[in-house]
Chain A
Amino acid sequence: MPVISYIDAVTQALQEEMQRDEKVFVLGEDVGVRGGVFRATDGLYKEFGAERVIDTPLTESAIAGVAIGASVYGMRPVAEMQFADFIMPAYNQIVSEAAKMRYRSNNTWYCPLVIRAPYGGGVHGALYHSQSVEKLFAGVPGLKIVMPSTPYDVKGLLKSAIRDEDPVLFLEHKRCYRLIKGEVPTEDYTVPIGEAEVKREGDDVTVISYGLTLHFALKAAEELEKEGISVHVLDLRTIIPLDKEAILEATVKTGKVLIVHEDNLTGGFGGEVSALISENAFFELDAPIRRLAGPDVPAMPYSPPLEKEFMLNPEKVKTAIRELAEF
C-alpha cells in the first residue's frame, strides 16, 4: 500500500470522486488555477477544468449558499473554506439553511453537500488561521461533522461525505496535512460516517480524541507503555453523528476517561462526550472524567511561546494520562 500524506488523501478523494461522478465539483477561493493555498485541490483544475473546479469571488457566505442551491438542484458540490476561521460569514447558510433544509421541507428538499475547512493550530497561524470551530456547529442537528486524523480515514471519510445525502462539515487539521502520513489503498474504499475507531488497545486509561490531538494521545500511549501504563485510544473520527456505543465501550474498558481536543475547554465537544458517559456509564467510572483542551482564551496567539503554551502536545497528554492512571 502506498504511503501518502494527509493532504494527498484529500486530493485523491476529490479527484477520484470527480472521476466517478460528474455531478461532483469543487468551489472556493483559490481552489482552481492555484490548486488551493494548501494545495489540496492541486491538479484538479487541469484535469477537470474551470467549470468543475470553480475559483469563486472572496465570499464565504456565497460559497456555502451557492453550493447549497446547487446541491438542492442535485449536484454534489464540495465547497472549500480557505481556513475554518473564515467560515463565520457562512455560518447562517450552513446552520440556518443547509442543516435545516431536509427537516423544514418535510424530507422533500435536501443538501448533499460537503464543506471542507482546514482548522487547528501549531502552524504559526495566530488568532485567525488556527481556530478549531467544531463546537460552533456540533449542536446543530441536520449537519454532520467529520474530523479525521489519518490519511486512510481522510480519504475514506471524504468519499463517504461526498456520497452522503446530507450536508457534511469536513474539518481537516492543517497541521496534519504534511505531518501525518500513512498507508492508503489504491482501490476505491470508504469509511462510514458516524463510526469511531479504537486506534490502540489498553486497560488503564481511555483517551478519547480526534484530529491532531489523537496523534498526541498515541505518542503519549506509546511512551507510557514503558512506565507500565496501558492506554486505550479511541478516535472519534466523526463527532456528529456521534458513535455513542464506541464511547461507552471504550469507557467500560478502563473506567478512567480522558477527553482531548484542541478546541477550547468551555463549550468544547469534550463536555458532550463527558455528559454522555456520566449519563450512561456512571457505574463504570473509576475516576472523574477528565478533559484536556485548549485554554479558554479568544484564540491562539502568534508569538511562538504563546502558541506553544496554547497548543497541546504529547507531554501534556502524557501528564494527564498519568494523573488518571494514578488516581
Chain B
Amino acid sequence: MGSEESVMETSRHEALGLSDDQVLEMYRTMLLARKIDERMWLLNRAGKIPFVISCQGQEATQVGAAFALDREKDWLCPYYRDLGMMLVFGQTAKDQMLSAFARAEEPNSAGRQMPGHYGDKRFRVISGSSPVTTQLLHAVGVALAGKMEKKDFVSLTSFGEGSSNQGDFHEGLNFAGVHNLPVIFMCENNKYAISVPIEKQLAGGSVAARGQGYGMPGISVDGNDPLEVYEAVRDAAARARKGEGPTLIEATAYRLVPHSSDDDDRTYREMGEVEEARKKDSLVQFKKYLEDVGILSTESGAELEREIGHIVDEATEYAEQAPYPDPSETYTHVYAE
C-alpha cells in the first residue's frame, strides 16, 4: 500500500469505485472483528467460554471479499475463521458473543455447534462443519442450482490453504470448471495448517496455480490489503454473473494467533516471525491508508475504537446473561418435525 502516494491524485479506493464512507465502513468492520476476537480470547483465558477460533490477521481478506459481493442475493459457504465476512453479511457482535457463550439465541446453531461454525439463513450463509473443505462442494451445488434456475447470484466459498489439498477441493473446482458454474473459490492462505507451514502443505508453492488445471483463472492477491481482495472478488463475481464460470483466488496473509484457544504456537514457530507479521497487520496498514487519504484522523480513530469497545462490552454483557438452550433441545430437529 503506497503511503507515499499523493492524496491529490485519485485514491485507490476511488479508482475502485468505493466511496469514503464505504472504505471507512470496511475498516470499521475489520476493527470490530478484531475486537470481538480479542475479547473472546480474554473470555476464554478467564474461563468463561470454552473455545475460540480466530480471524486475526485475515480481517482484510474477509471484509474485502464480502464487500465485493451482493449482500442481498449472493450465497456464502464460509469456513470457521470468517468472522469478518459474517459481520459484513449482517451478523452482529451480539451474535458472535452468543455463539461464544453457546446460548440458545445464537443464530448459527442455537448453541449446538462450536464457535466459528457459521450458518445463517437470513443472509444465505449455509451452515458449515468441522471436517474441512466440505463446504466447498456446497457452494458448487448452490451455483449449479442458480444456473439451472437462471438466477444471477454467485456463491463464494472460503477455506484455508491446507484445505486446497483435500479431495473435495479438487472435486469441487473440477466440477465447477466442467459445468462452468458461478462460484468463487477463495483461499485464505494464512501460512499455517495448525502447525504445518505452507512449505509442507503446498507442492508447487501456490494454491492459485491450481486453478489452471481446472480451467479457471487462479489469482493471487495480498490478503492484508482489503482493496486488492475487493477488486479480485468483484471481478470474479462479474465474470461469474456473465456466465464465464468460476474463479480461484488465493489471498495470502498471516495467522497472528495460535490455531485455536487449545493450541500453543510457540511449539512450532518463532515468535519473531509473528512480530514481523504484525507489522504488516492489515488493521495497522489500512488505518494508515485511511489517515493518509484523510478519511480517518487521530481523534476519529480513537472515537471509533471507543465506540467499538462499547459495542463489544455490551455484546459480552448481553450474551453472558442470555439463557442456555433447554436440555430438551438436544432431541429436536434431527428430522423434519
Contacts and interface: CB of A to CB of B under 8 A. Distances in A.
Contacts, number: 136
B334 A109 contact: no
B88 to A, nearest CB: 20
Contacts of B139: 69
B175 interface: yes
Interface string B81-112: 00000000000000000000000000011101
B137 A69 contact: yes
A141 B335 CA distance: 8
A327 to B, nearest CB: 39
Interface in A101-123: 101-110
Given A101-B127, A166-B335, A106 B109 contact: yes
B148 A66 contact: no
Contact of A109 (B121, B143, B144, B171): B121
A178 B335 CA distance: 33
B138 interface: yes
Interface residues of B, number: 44
B172 interface: yes
A68 B137 CA distance: 8
B77 interface: yes
Contact of B134 (A25, A67, A74, A97): A97
A75 B143 CA distance: 12
Contacts of A97: 129, 134, 138
Size class of the A contact interface (CB-based, 8 Å): 35 or more
Contacts of A77: 141
B18 to A, nearest CB: 30
Given A62-B137, A66-B140, A103-B334, A72 B126 contact: yes
A43 to B, nearest CB: 20
A75 B145 contact: yes
A65 B145 contact: no
A166 B141 CA distance: 17
Nearest to B125: A109
B330 to A, nearest CB: 10
A70 B130 CA distance: 20
Nearest to B127: A105
B266 interface: no
Most buried by B among A56, A68, A96: A68
A209 interface: no
A66 B177 CA distance: 13
Interface in A143-175: 144, 164-166
B167 interface: yes
B142 interface: yes
Nearest to A60: B171
A73 B146 contact: yes
A124 B175 CA distance: 32
B47 interface: no
Contacts of B144: 66, 69-70
B336 interface: yes
A103 B332 CA distance: 8
A71 interface: yes
B140 A96 contact: no
B302 interface: no
Interface of B: 75, 77, 108-110, 112-113, 117, 119-121, 126-127, 129-131, 134, 136-146, 148, 155, 167-168, 171-172, 174-175, 178-179, 332-337
Given A72-B141, A103-B112, A104-B109, 10 more contacts: A57-B175, A62-B137, A65-B137, A65-B140, A66-B172, A67-B141, A92-B131, A97-B134, A104-B119, A144-B335
27 contacts: A57-B171, A59-B171, A59-B174, A59-B175, A62-B140, A64-B137, A65-B168, A66-B140, A68-B138, A69-B139, A69-B140, A69-B141, A69-B144, A72-B138, A72-B141, A73-B75, A74-B145, A75-B148, A92-B134, A93-B134, A96-B131, A97-B138, A105-B109, A110-B336, A142-B334, A165-B336, A166-B335
